[in-house]
C-alpha cells in the first residue's frame, strides 16, 4: 500500500500529516510513503529527513495522486466546495482520504467529497473509547491549543503572571479564569499555574471538578442544574439558552475579578455557546485579556472576531484560529502518531480493509461509493 502526503492547502496551515519518525510504525502495516516535495518544510521537516527514512519525494501533487491509494492530510477540505483549485483537486474514486474533514461543521463539504467518489475517513469522529485513545486527534490538538492560549494571554497582558517579591516591591500574581475544562482547558490551567498565576476554572460538567483541583486550580461552582451536561463520549452537550443566560449572570462576579479569561467551550458540530457578554467584558479590570479559543466556531465571547484582536475599552479580546498550526513541529508529531495508529487499523499486510464491524472504522467513515454514509452527517445535511 502506498500512502501519499500532500502539501496542505488550507490558508496558514503549517502542519504535515506524517513525520519521519513514524516511518517504522507505517512500515509494520505494510505502508510505503510518497510525499510531495516541501510538504513538511513549514513544520521543520525538510525533504532530506523523509528521504533518509525511505520516503519517495515527488516533485508535484499530481505525481503523488497518481502513485498513492491512501492520501494523508491534516486539513484537506479547505477550498474544496465550489473551488476548482481547492484541496480536493485531482482526487477521485481510486483514493482513500484520511484527515480532519469537519464533517459536522461543514456537511456540505462532505457531500462534495462524496460526489468525487472518494472514500473518506474523518478523524474528528474517532469515538472516545479506551482502544482509540492513541488515535484521538482532537485531544492532541486541544493540548497544544490550551498551552498556546495561555502564552498568548501572557504576551498581551500588561503584567506578569507570577507573584514576585523584589527589592522594588511585591508584584501580585495574575488572576486567570478558564471556562471549559476539557483537554484544552485543563492544559490551559496547567500552563497558567506553571507560570505562577492564581487560577480558577469552571465547567458545566461537575465531574471535572477533581481534575481541575488536581492541577492546583479552584473549581468555581455555580448553583445551576446540569445533569445532562455531557454525552456518552465525554463531550459537552449543548444546553438551552435559558441555562446559558443564568450561567452568564452567575459568572459575572468571577469574570470581573480576573485579569485573564480563557474560554474553551465548544460543542462538536454546533456554534459555540456565548458565555461572555459585552457587560461581562466591561466589568473586567483595565488591561485585562480574553483569549477565545472557540473563535473558529463563532466564539464564546459575543465580541470575538475569528483571527482578530478586538479592543473593548481597555480590554483585549483575542480570537485565535488554528492554534496547533502555530506550534507545527510538535503538533505534526502528535497528529502523525494518531494518524499512523489509525492507519494500522485500516491497512494490514499492505492491503486496505474497511471492517464496518469495528466501531472506530464505522464511526469515522463518512463517504464511500459516491455517497455520504455517516448517519450524523446525513442528518446534518437533511436539516
> Considering 60, 62, 133, 278, which one is annotated as catalytic?
133
Residue closest to 236 by CA, chosen among 282, 209, 211, 204: 204
**Inter-residue contact 244 to 137 (CB < 8 Å):** no
> Considering 37, 139, 246, 329, which one is annotated as catalytic?
139
**What 3-state DSSP class applies to 53?**
coil
Asked if 139 is an active-site residue, the reply is yes
Three-point CA angle 314, 167, 170, nearest 5°: 40
**Inter-residue contact 191 to 201 (CB < 8 Å):** no
> Considering 73, 77, 116, 136, which one is annotated as catalytic?
136
How far is it, in rounded angstroms, from Cα 6 to Cα 26? 17
Adjacency order of strands within the sheet including 175-179: 218-219, 198-202, 175-179, 260-263, 289-292, 315-318, 309-312
**Inter-residue contact 5 to 35 (CB < 8 Å):** yes
How far is it, in rounded angstroms, from Cα 197 to Cα 161? 5
**Inter-residue contact 288 to 258 (CB < 8 Å):** yes
Residues 6 or more apart whose CB falls under 8 angstroms from that of 14 comprise 8, 42, 43, 325, 326, 328
- CB atoms closer than 10 angstroms to residue 336: 28
> Considering 61, 106, 194, 235, which one is annotated as catalytic?
235
C-alpha cell at 254: 468571577
**What 3-state DSSP class applies to 164?**
strand
- CB atoms closer than 10 angstroms to residue 181: 27
Residues 6 or more apart whose CB falls under 8 angstroms from that of 124 comprise 100, 101, 102, 103, 104, 137, 138, 268
Cα distances from 333 to residues 74, 115, 187, 318, in angstroms, run 12, 32, 18, 27
Asked if 21 is an active-site residue, the reply is no
> Considering 56, 128, 305, 378, which one is annotated as catalytic?
128
CA pseudo-torsion sign 290, 296, 301, 303:
positive
Catalytic residue annotation:
128, 133, 136, 139, 235
Amino acid at each position: 500500500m502506498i500512502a501519499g502526503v500532500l502539501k496542505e492547502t488550507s490558508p496558514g496551515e503549517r502542519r504535515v500529516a506524517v513525520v519521519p519518525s513514524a516511518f517504522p510504525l507505517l512500515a509494520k502495516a505494510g505502508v510505503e510513503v510518497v510525499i510531495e516535495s516541501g510538504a513538511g518544510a513549514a513544520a521543520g521537516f525538510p525533504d532530506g529527513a523523509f528521504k533518509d527514512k525511505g520516503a519517495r519525494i515527488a516533485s508535484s501533487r499530481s505525481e503523488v495522486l497518481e502513485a498513492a491509494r491512501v492520501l494523508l492530510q491534516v486539513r484537506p477540505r479547505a477550498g474544496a466546495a465550489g473551488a476548482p483549485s481547492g484541496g480536493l483537486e485531482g482526487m477521485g474514486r481510486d483514493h482513500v482520504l484520511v484527515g480532519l474533514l469537519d464533517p459536522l461543521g461543514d456537511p456540505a463539504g462532505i457531500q462534495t467529497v462524496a460526489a468525487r467518489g472518494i472514500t473518506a475517513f474523518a478523524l474528528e469522529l474517532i469515538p472516545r473509547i479506551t482502544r482509540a485513545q492513541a488515535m484521538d486527534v482532537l485531544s492532541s490538538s486541544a493540548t497544544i491549543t490550551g498551552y498556546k492560549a495561555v502564552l498568548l494571554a501572557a504576551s498581551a497582558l500588561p503584567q506578569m503572571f507570577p507573584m514576585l517579591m523584589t527589592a522594588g516591591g511585591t508584584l501580585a500574581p495574575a488572576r486567570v479564569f478558564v471556562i471549559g475544562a476539557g483537554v484544552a482547558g485543563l492544559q490551559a490551567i496547567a500552563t497558567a499555574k506553571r507560570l505562577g498565576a492564581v487560577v480558577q476554572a469552571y465547567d458545566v460538567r461537575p465531574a471535572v471538578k477533581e481534575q481541575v483541583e488536581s492541577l492546583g486550580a479552584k473549581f468555581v461552582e455555580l448553583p445551576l442544574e446540569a445533569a445532562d451536561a455531557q454525552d456518552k463520549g465525554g463531550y459537552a452537550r449543548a444546553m438551552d439558552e435559558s441555562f446559558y443566560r443564568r450561567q452568564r449572570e452567575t459568572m459575572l462576579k468571577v469574570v470581573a475579578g480576573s485579569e485573564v479569561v480563557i474560554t474553551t467551550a465548544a460543542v462538536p458540530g454546533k456554534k459555540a455557546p456565548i458565555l461572555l457578554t459585552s457587560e461581562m467584558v466591561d466589568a473586567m479590570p483595565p488591561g485585562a485579556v480574553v483569549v477565545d479559543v472557540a473563535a473558529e466556531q463563532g466564539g464564546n465571547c459575543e465580541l470575538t472576531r475569528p483571527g482578530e484582536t478586538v479592543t473593548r475599552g481597555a480590554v483585549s479580546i483575542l480570537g485565535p484560529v488554528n492554534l496547533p498550526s502555530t506550534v507545527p513541529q510538535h503538533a505534526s508529531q502528535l497528529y502523525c502518531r494518531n494518524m499512523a495508529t489509525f492507519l494500522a487499523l485500516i491497512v494490514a499486510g499492505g492491503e486496505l480493509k474497511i471492517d464496518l464491524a469495528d466501531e472506530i472504522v464505522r464511526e469515522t467513515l463518512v463517504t464511500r461509493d459516491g455517497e455520504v454514509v455517516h448517519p450524523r452527517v446525513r442528518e446534518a445535511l437533511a436539516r
